[in-house]
Amino acid sequence: MLERITSILVMSTALTVTIGPALAVPPGSLNTVATETSLDDQQKKRISDYATYWLSRLESGTPEETKRARNKLVEPVRSMLGNSSSIFRSTYAGDLVPGLKKVIEGDDLYRSVNALQIAGFLGSDQVMRLLVDTADPDLESSPEKRLWATIAIRESILSGNLSPRRISSSIRSLARSAATESDWRVLTREMETISSAAQSELSKDQGGDEIRSLGRELQLSTLKATIDRLTDNTGDIELIYALRPGILEFRQQYLNPQMVDYRREIALGTAPQLGRVYVILLNHYDLIREDEKLAETSGMMLRLSEETLKLINSDVGNGGTPAANSLSAWNSNQRSTIEQNRAAWDAVLSAPPYSGN
C-alpha cells in the first residue's frame, strides 16, 4: 500500500512539473502596483509573472480564455484605483510587447485582434512602432489587422502616456498609410485618428499646440489625397464611404467653439476640396449610380459638402453664396443641374479669399 501511495505521489509530482504552468493559479491583480511611481525588484517580478501568465492564455487558450486574457492584460492600465504610472506602463509594456508582437503577426485573426486591442490600451511609446507598422498596407496585408491597429493608435493618442514626439511621428506615419489604403473601413478610422490629434487636449507645455497644428495639416492633406484618388481612379470608388465621414469631421471641427481660433484656417483649406466633390460624382456618374448604396451615400456626401460650403462662405466669403441644392437633382438623375451647381461653386472658389489672390 505504501509503495502504491509513493508511486502515486511520484506520478503526481511529475505531472505537476510537466504541465504545472498551464494549470498554475492565476497571479494576483496588479492594480495596486500600477499606480506606484517607483518599482522594486519584487514588484517588477510580479509584473513579469502576470504578463507571462496571461500572454500564454492569449496565445494558446480557448476563445473564452483568450477573451479573459485580453481583459486581464488591460485591467492594470485601466485600474479603478487611478491612472497607472509612467514607470508601470513602461515596465509592463516591456514585458508585453514581444509576446503581443508574436500574436499579432500570427495567423489566428481572433487572437491578433485581441492583442491589438491590448496594445492600444497600453498607451506607451514602446508599443507604437508595432501598431504603426501593422497599420501600414505595405507591411500588413490583412485589412482587419490594419483596422484594429488604427483604432489602437487612436486609443493610445487619446488616453495613453505617449510623448509628444511619438504622437507626432505616429500620425505622420498614419497619414502616409492613408494615402495608399485601399480599404474604406480602415481609411475611415485613419481619418478619425488624425482628426483626434487635431483636437488633442494636451496643454501647450506638453506640446499640444504643435500636435494640434500637425493634426490639422495632416487631416487636410489626407482629405485632399483621398479626393485626388477618387477623382482619377475608378478602382478606388468605394473610398467614398470613407470620404463622407471625413468631411463630417471637418464640419464638426468648424462648428466646435474650442476651434474658433482656427475657423478661418479650416475654412480656406477645406472649401476648395469640398468643391471637388462635384468632380468625383460627375467623373464617375454612371458607375456610382449602378450601386444603390454607393449612390445613396454619394448623394448624402454631396448634400453635406454643399451645406458646409454655404456655411463657410457665409462666414469668410466676399460675395454671394450659391443656392445650389443638388441632392434632389442627384436623386432624380438630373446631371445637368449638378453640372450647373458645380460651375456656380467653381466661380466662388476660384476667387478670393479661396484662391489666395
User: pLDDT for 92-121, tens place per residue?
Assistant: 999 999 999 999 999 999 999 999 999 999
Report CA-CA distances (Å) from 73 to 28, 58, 66, 107, 120: 12, 9, 10, 21, 11
Q: Please check whether residue 354 is in contact with residue 348, taking contact to mean a CB–CB distance below 8 angstroms.
A: yes
Give the H or E element holding residue 89: helix 86-104
Q: What gap in Å lies between CA 309 and CA 181, rounded to an integer?
A: 27
In a domain, 174, yes or no: no
Choose among 89, 165, 158, 164: nearest CA to 127: 89
**CA 53/CA 30 separation, integer angstroms:** 13
What confidence tens digit (pLDDT) does each residue in 26-73 have? Answer: 899 998 899 899 999 999 999 999 999 999 999 999 999 999 999 999
Q: Is the pTM of this model over 0.75?
A: yes
DSSP3 helix / strand / coil % (the chain, rounded to 5): 80, 0, 20
* Residue 185 included in any domain: no
Number of neighbours of residue 54 by Cβ within 10 angstroms: 25
Q: How far apart are CA 224 and CA 53, in angstroms?
A: 47
Domain membership of residue 283 (yes or no) is yes
Q: Could you tell me if residue 315 is inside a domain?
A: yes
**Separation of alpha carbons 174 and 193, rounded Å:** 8
Q: Is 249 contained in some domain?
A: yes
Domain interval for residue 292: 218-357
CA distance 228 to 201: 31
Q: What are phi and psi of 140, to 5 degrees?
A: -125, 120
Q: How many residues does the chain have?
A: 357
Rounded to an integer, the average pLDDT of 115-141 is 94
Question: CB burial class (10 A; 0-12, 13-18, 19+) of residue 325?
Answer: middle
What cell numbers appear for 74 in the block?
A: 488591460
Q: What per-residue confidence (pLDDT) applies to 294?
A: 98
Per-residue confidence (pLDDT) for residue 213, from 0 to 100: 96
In a domain, 213, yes or no: no
Q: What mean pLDDT, rounded, does the chain reach? A: 90
Q: What is the mean pLDDT of residues 137-144?
A: 98
Q: How confident is residue 9, by pLDDT bands cut at 50, 70 and 90?
A: very low
Query: CA-CA distance, 226 to 180, in Å (whole number)?
Result: 9
List, for residues 161-209, the tens digit of each pLDDT value: 788 999 999 999 999 999 999 999 999 999 999 999 999 988 999 899 9
pLDDT of residue 21: 43
322 inside domain = yes
CB of 100 closer than 8 Å to CB of 119: yes
Q: Is 250 a member of any domain?
A: yes
Indicate the residue type of 352.
P
Instruction: Annotate 102-126 with b (16+ C-beta within 10 A) or e (fewer).
Output: ebbeeeeeebbbbbbbbbbbbbbbb
Report, as an integer, the average pLDDT of 140-152.
Answer: 98
- Over residues 278-288, the mean pLDDT reads 97
Q: Is the pLDDT of residue 23 over 50?
A: no
- What's the total number of domains in the chain? 1
Instruction: Return d(Cα 106, Cα 59) in angstroms, integer.
Output: 9
What DSSP character marks residue 182? Answer: -
What is the per-residue pLDDT for 10?
A: 39
